[in-house]
Amino acid sequence: MSRRSLGTAIALIGVGVVAGVILMTSFSTNAIEQLFAQDVELGAASPPAPAPPAVKLLNDQFANVAGAVTQSVVSISVKTDRKSMMRGMPQDFFRFFGPDFGAPNEEDESPQLPEGEASGSGVVITADGYVVTNNHVVESAKEGGITVTTIDQKQFKAKLVGRDPLTDLAVLKIDGRFSPAHLAQRSDIRIGEWVVAVGSPLGLKSTVTTGIVSAMGRSIGIVGTNEMNSQRNRYAAENFIQTDAAINPGNSGGGLFNLNGSLVGINTAIASQSGVNAGYGFAIPIDMVRSVVLDLIDDGKIERGYIGVEITSVDEATAKAVGLSKVAGVSVNRVVKGGAAEAAGLEVGDVILDVDGKPVKTSSDLQNEIVLRRAGDKVNLKIWRDGREIAKTVKLKAPDGVDVASRSGSDDNSRAVDESEPVTIKGLGFTAAALTSEQRSTFNVKTGVYVAKVDRMGQMARRGLRQGTVILKADGKEVFSPAQLKRVISAKEPGDGMMFVVKDSDGSKQAITVEVPEL
């Protein structure tokens, strides 16, 4: 080989080495690893448990419902005069957990919005912008302080159309064209069916949670109270849908929907010791929502009618006391003076079995039927009295229409009072004494015995008997003396039910039922 050819070969080899070094250094470590890992497969080739068609359809339906109903659910921010807690819920929201659930104390480290701000949710119910929410979300709003935000993040100043504290509902109005929710029928709601809750909990807008309807007709004693007075308004109406779909502060006023995407209720409260979801939430049923909303849109107020009674659900002791063959209906504990019930002839101790042919099993059932009606409407009641069914027609009155009038305590058939020594019924936990002339005048009665003492831990106290009242009847019999009352009670067998009719100094009457113990 000539020296020239040798030089050329060496030059070519050098060029190749340099090119190779440059090429190798241009590859990163990852590139080299990827080059040699092209045949590696990550994960299994197929899902381990493919969903059957029915499950896929259900999954698709949940997704379809969520996508559809979020278009009609809005978030609501409110400027108030009060400091908010738990990311903006009004302070009095914690009343909506009920007296046994408690509220956060001032030392809790829960996040707070600045003073004067609160938040909640709402549902658009008409195409032209009427929005339903909870009264407790907006009741403390400043003038012009309510802002509604839709799912596309558009903001609208809202006008407060009207509020109804006795059902905890309110209606707002925003200007524009919107996608309203479809309203279900209450008769279509079933315990056990799937539901979807939509709202803005804890400041998280358009949040969707799922669960089932776990109970119907719940009354938990939260509606109709206020900050200044914890005593509940006797005209407040509750008939909640209970659900285990997660509901948290901020969900108030949002929607509870079925798997058709129809609105079945307005989320209102949670049962919680911590202030956040602990398993159960409560929603106002759609029939109550529909009735209240229509009235508020019409003239901004409710022309609700009332029977004028205070009631409790019949329990086993009451059923035994009045001779019912089964536990059903609601017991009339008090009749409001001058009210519709008094005018129709209802009496303390009556049991209301149905309204316009619809059976009522609980006090919530009766409330729900009456709250759908207006002052001046007539309702037909089936009543259980003195061991038989009777019919009464009641023309409902508005509370302002009640004319208070005096009424005699009993007919003029008094007997001479004898055996007037006080008696103590230890098994029931109270002491009865003969009436003095002054007490007869105070209570406007001619017969009865005075409740001189009540054991706070006794059975009668637990059922509502208070010291300073008068027992008029026991087991359907007029009471004339302490000794006679004791004989009436002693004639009953242990385990029997017994009803007492008691009168307060203000003239109101109350029915108290107990199970007779061993005396």
Does 168 participate in catalysis according to the annotation?
Answer: yes
Active-site hit among 164, 168, 244, 365: 168
Instruction: Please choose, from the candidates 330, 400, 404, 338, the residue with its C-alpha nearest in 3D space to the C-alpha of residue 370.
Output: 330
Q: Are strands 194-199 and 255-258 parallel, antiparallel or unpaired?
A: antiparallel
Tokens coding 316: 């086993």
What's the number of CA atoms in the CB half-sphere (13 Å) around residue 391?
6
Nearest to 93, CA basis, from 73, 69, 113: 113
Kindly tell me the burial class for residue 291, based on how many C-beta atoms sit within 10 Å of its own C-beta (0-12, 13-18, 19 or more): buried
Which residue is catalytic, options 136, 262, 295, 364?
136
What's the DSSP call for residue 419? -
Contact 209, 283 (CB under 8 A): no
Is 350 considered catalytic here?
Answer: no
**Which among 350, 476, 479 has a CA at the least distance from the CA of 425?**
479
Active site residue 455: no
Residue 359 is which amino acid? Answer: P
HEC readout, 294-340: HHHHHHCCCCECECCEEEEECCHHHHHHHCCCCCCCEEEEEECCCCH
Closest CA to 184 of 286, 288, 259: 286
Sort strands 280-285 and 240-243 into parallel, antiparallel or unpaired: antiparallel
Residue pointed to by tokens 């919680």: 272
Q: Active site residue: 72, 252, 262, 364, which one? A: 252
Could you give the residue numbers annotated as active site?
136, 168, 252
